[in-house]
Amino acid sequence: MTPSPPGSHRVVLVTGPSGAGRATAINALEDLGYEAIDNMPLSLIPRLMEGPALARPVALGIDVRNREFSAGGLLDLHAQMNANIDRSSSLLYLDCAPEVLARRYSETRRRHPLAPDETPTEGIAREIALLEGVRIGADILIDTTELTPHDLRSEMQGWFGMETGQRMAISLHSFSYKRGLPQGLDMALDCRFLRNPHWVPELRGMTGLDAAVAEYVSDDDRFSGFIQKAIELTLFLLPAYVAEGKAHFSLGFGCTGGQHRSVFVTEKVASGLAAEGWQVSIKHRELERRRLPLTPGARTPTDGKAPG
């Protein structure tokens, strides 16, 4: 699947029988950078496509429970959108074996939307029959019978990840162990074994963004090996997390005060990951909390309480 040309509307229509994984697929597309809207009435979709081109592709969940739904209406809409040179759509159908759908309903104890007063099995049979034409006319069919939610997210990455060019969101954090680990970290590495600029008076008021601090920390014989191994470990793990369907990965580097060593290490690892094509965001928790400069070269007085 290739990205749409500039100035065009790009839409993925997601449907399938209830319980086949539509919500999981919609969430996966949202994590890939799509604007996601679930249970969209068919009559409103043409209005959504009017006006200037959308800034990003759109994923629309189409549900048989909507009072406007019809298989013919969905197929007609799909054809009309693709007939317009400024619009393109893909019809994604999530399929699943009836017995598996029945088991999923049994596990959740929910009523089927097409059989509120009957057994889920009867509703499943009606829905599959109603959607048969859509299933035949779909551009992409994913059978979720034997897929876990992680498996389905991986499938969505394979089919639609290149549309936005967005990959797993990676965030790197520097922090102070005195204030504990940042919430939501997937992994943390300790930098306190490296040379501490806090004990050098002329470096104490600087941060890990300053060249003098960077040089001082880099002179530690263990620094280059640590950085190399940290980058190699992260690059080894990231593809495995992507395959698992993980949308975000958060890695922290801590030191005593979160001002010197952890900041510099975070910047170095981020540069290494970016050089390999990964999109990385950086958060220096203690610099932001203490309102220390987030740009290199600006000295600030230190309070002497949180050695870096």
Please tell me whether residue 86 adopts helix, strand or coil conformation.
coil
Burial class (CB in 10 A: 0-12, 13-18, 19+), 204: buried
d(CA 156, CA 161): 7
Residue 25 dihedral angles phi and psi, to the nearest 5°: -65, -40
Contact assessment for residue 64 and residue 133, using Cβ atoms and an 8 Å cutoff:
no
Nearest one of 9, 73, 8 to 40, comparing CA atoms: 73
Q: How confident is the model at residue 302 (pLDDT cuts 50, 70, 90)?
A: very low
Q: What is the pTM of this model?
A: 0.56
* Single-letter amino acid, residue 13: L
pLDDT per position as a tens digit, 205-238: 999 999 999 999 999 999 999 999 999 999 999 9
Map out the domains of the chain with their CATH numbers. Answer: 9-164 (3.40.50.300), 169-289 (no CATH)
Largest CA distance in the chain: 77
Q: Give the pLDDT confidence score for residue 52 in this predicted structure.
A: 66
Taking each helix axis as running N to C, give the angle between helix 261-275 and helix 223-243, from 0 to 180 degrees, rounded to the nearest 10: 50
Asked if the model's pLDDT at residue 244 lies above 70, the reply is yes
Nearest one of 241, 235, 234, 245 to 188, comparing CA atoms: 234
Q: How far is CA 5 from CA 9, 21, 118, 163, 164, in A?
A: 9, 29, 48, 10, 12
Look up residue 231 and give its DSSP letter.
H
pLDDT per position as a tens digit, 9-28: 588 999 999 889 999 999 99
Q: Give the pLDDT confidence score for residue 299 in this predicted structure.
A: 36
Q: Give the pLDDT confidence score for residue 5 in this predicted structure.
A: 41
Instruction: Please report, rounded to a whole number, the percentage of residues in the chain having pLDDT higher than 90.
Output: 44
Contact assessment for residue 49 and residue 81, using Cβ atoms and an 8 Å cutoff:
yes
Q: Taking residues 171-200, report their average pLDDT.
A: 93
